[in-house]
Structure 1
Amino acid sequence: MEKIEIEITEEHKGSRIDKALSAVNPEWSRTQIQSWLKDSLVLVSGIQVKPNYKVRLGDIVTVEEPELEVLDMVAEELNLDIVYEDKDVLVVNKARGMVVHPAPGHPSGTVVNGLMHHCTDLSGINGVVRPGIVHRIDKDTSGLLMVAKNDKAHVSLVDQLVNRSVTRVYTALVHGHIPHDNGTIDAPIGRDQRERQNMAIVDKGRHAVTHFKVIERFGDYTLVECRLETGRTHQIRVHMKYIGYPLVGDPKYGPKKTLQFNGQVLHAGTLGFDHPVTGEYLEFNSPLPEDFKDLVDEVRKSVDKTEE
């Protein structure tokens, strides 16, 4: 990444930060800048600000401009697990280890590459790299993902996410014995200032709420259901770490000594939303993947043996 420092002059003071920066460098679109602000790549005097921040005379704005990688968008036959499809929306059950859309380091083999082979009608609101993509789940998280097949459907689904009316329920295996049966984590999430690739609980982060319920306890491990009220990057992983119960196998937020599993043990098992055209509420359920179930069985058996 190239780091650029800009001092705000009389000409731009009082303007929204995205407008001011796009005026300073016309090659930066306001949409790009807003995305960089969200990812903490734009800081004012080292502090993260909101997109509606109005710059002041003398402000030092630091921009870390991501290096662009030209991506060759190729349709690939990936045998995606499509659990529902009509002319407006599509629901795919994403396998663990699959990236949602092409990005530097992952130019192919993504959900988007598979979708492009499966159908030609996908919404274009998110551009050529993320056609149809309304929301994402992490590479090593398995489960249900909704896709928009036209722009009208895309706007409706995004509005439902913003209004928190989408049902998103995950199952996770976490370290530790959670003593209470349920709870709510309400803590803001933002970019970790020490580890820029990670998210963390930060005072000026974005509002984030996760509701959890204990399914089963296995000695030093607990199987939980997590229901998202908001949908921030790595929300469940960060929130569970914050209360002292990090996800098993999580390479970013969990302990180094953990059960053997390629990535966090997390599955997006329930997804519900109002159909963008008919208004009918649709809900889909995906069973736990076999490797997830096998790991839970192993933990359960090991606890049973110690109690014999």
Structure 2
Amino acid sequence: MEKCMKRILNYQIEKEWEGESAAAFLRAKGFSRHILTHLKQTEGGICRNGSRIWLSERLHFGDVLTVTFLEERSSENIVPVPMKLDIVYEDEDLLVIDKPADMPVHPSIHNFDNTLANGLAYYYESRGEAFVYRCITRLDRDTTGLLLVAKNMLSGAFLAEMGKRREIHREYLAIVTGKTEAEGTVDAPIARVEGSVLERCVDFQRGERAVTHYRTLEYRDGYSLVRLKLETGRTHQIRVHMKYIGHPLTGDFLYNPDYRLMDHQALHSHYLAFRHPITGERMEFTSQPPWQGLWEGREEDGEETLKSCHCSM
């Protein structure tokens, strides 16, 4: 029998909230109307000092307000499939995963049982826990590196809002063809290529604004190692922008099918930083690309270049 995913939070009521309603307090903590409705419909969802209360009831200094999130059903239409997952960090609220190449993030018509979602469904099923899939930072199928997954409704909502406010910071490493400028910014709108489901292009008439910042870390043998930060999050943004300025990613089947260096696009989510959605603690993670060895012809120089590349632009 499938168990539920449970998350319990306790709040000690301070003097400033004396006489205020439970609803006002939780809204101030960032709880949305949707989340409050879920709590109202959950048995024991909102309790004061161990007893269930209504959201309209008043709080008093020293009270302990307890909220309990229960999710008893897993995401539908996601088949649990055993697979190796590189889980960098996990707690009650979130996961940070280092994704390999050739792994889609979400199931689709042509990717039904080979995605990160399938692997996580199996991971939690094997632990006897329900799991609703909430991927916060998505990566293309062949983009490697760090991504963020929420484990419950509340952390999912908070992290989604943080993403909209650009409070989740990511940096990428890429190998591109040719010698790039020392640094630069590409501000060019991106649209879907007419007649294509997948391919994107720069289009100043139909496109949505897209901004990418890059800095060159090293140039070697006709290729540049670059570090990139995004102001916007358009589909294929880095891949399209680097091609647009004449430096497409090596190994990119869609925009530069040149496989002399590697058999998939050389794009890696290298750095991820954010405030924990519940505790507020600063979380910071780095991951070295699987193709790091390509830049270690001079081993010490190459290693130092990659280790230091998450510094501020």
| C-alpha deviation, 1:81, in angstroms | 0.5
Q: Deviations over 1:131-173 (max 9, x none)?
A: 1212310111110110011121112111122112211111100
The separation in 1 between residues aligned to 2:188 and 2:274, in whole angstroms, is 25
Q: Does 1:293 align with 2:298?
A: no
Matching residue of 1:31: none
| C-alpha deviation, 1:219, in angstroms | 3.6
Q: Does 1:98 align with 2:100?
A: no
Q: Does 1:118 align with 2:123?
A: yes
| C-alpha deviation, 1:258, in angstroms | 4.5
Between the aligned residues of both structures, percent identity stands at 42
**Structure 1 pair 299–230 and aligned structure 2 pair: CA distance change class (3 A):** farther
Matching residue of 1:138: 140
Map of 1:77-96 to 2, 5 A cutoff? 77-96=82-101
Matching residue of 2:279: 278
Task: Find 1:73's aligned residue among 68, 78, 83.
Answer: 78
Matched residue of 1:112: which SS?
helix
The separation in 1 between residues aligned to 2:100 and 2:258, in whole angstroms, is 25
Q: Deviations over 1:159-188 (max 9, x none)?
A: 12211221111110000111x211111111
**Structure 1 pair 137–295 and aligned structure 2 pair: CA distance change class (3 A):** same
Task: Find 2:157's aligned residue among 155, 158, 162.
Answer: 155
* 8 A contact 2:171–2:270 mirrored in 1: yes
Matching residue of 2:5: none
* 8 A contact 2:210–2:234 mirrored in 1: yes
**Structure 1 pair 283–122 and aligned structure 2 pair: CA distance change class (3 A):** farther
Q: Deviations over 1:101-126 (max 9, x none)?
A: 21111111211111112223544xxx
The separation in 1 between residues aligned to 2:117 and 2:196, in whole angstroms, is 28
Map of 1:1-308 to 2, 5 A cutoff? 72-119=77-124, 120-123=129-132, 131-178=133-180, 180-203=181-204, 204-254=206-256, 256-289=257-290, 292-297=291-296
Matched residue of 1:205: which SS?
coil
* 8 A contact 1:170–1:227 mirrored in 2: yes
Large movers: runs of 4+ above 4 Å: 297-300
The separation in 1 between residues aligned to 2:234 and 2:93, in whole angstroms, is 25
Question: Mind listing any 5+ residue stretches in structure 2 that lack a counterpart?
Answer: 1-75, 300-313
| C-alpha deviation, 1:237, in angstroms | 0.3
Matched residue of 2:155: which SS?
helix
Amino acid at match of 1:295: L
Greater shift in the superposed pair: 131-140 or 241-250: 131-140
Instruction: Decide which structure has the larger Cα Rg and report it.
Output: 2
Matched residue of 2:167: which SS?
coil
CA RMSD of aligned residues (A): 2.0
The separation in 2 between residues aligned to 1:299 and 1:194, in whole angstroms, is 45
The separation in 1 between residues aligned to 2:83 and 2:197, in whole angstroms, is 32
* 8 A contact 2:174–2:266 mirrored in 1: yes
* 8 A contact 2:252–2:258 mirrored in 1: no
Amino acid at match of 2:93: D
* 8 A contact 1:177–1:219 mirrored in 2: no
Q: Deviations over 1:58-108 (max 9, x none)?
A: xxxxxxxxxxxxx95221221211011111111111011111121111111
| C-alpha deviation, 1:297, in angstroms | 4.4
Matching residue of 1:11: none
**Structure 1 pair 229–217 and aligned structure 2 pair: CA distance change class (3 A):** same
| C-alpha deviation, 1:216, in angstroms | 0.4
| C-alpha deviation, 1:238, in angstroms | 0.5
What is the TM-score normalised by the length of structure 2? 0.66
What is the TM-score normalised by the length of structure 1? 0.67
* 8 A contact 1:272–1:283 mirrored in 2: yes
Matching residue of 2:18: none
Amino acid at match of 2:252: D
The separation in 2 between residues aligned to 1:104 and 1:147, in whole angstroms, is 22
**Structure 1 pair 257–138 and aligned structure 2 pair: CA distance change class (3 A):** closer
Question: Mind listing any 5+ residue stretches in structure 1 that lack a counterpart?
Answer: 1-70, 124-130, 301-308
| C-alpha deviation, 1:274, in angstroms | 1.5
Amino acid at match of 2:189: P
Q: Deviations over 1:6-46 (max 9, x none)?
A: xxxxxxxxxxxxxxxxxxxxxxxxxxxxxxxxxxxxxxxxx
The separation in 2 between residues aligned to 1:149 and 1:196, in whole angstroms, is 31
Aligned residue pairs total 219
| C-alpha deviation, 1:263, in angstroms | 1.6
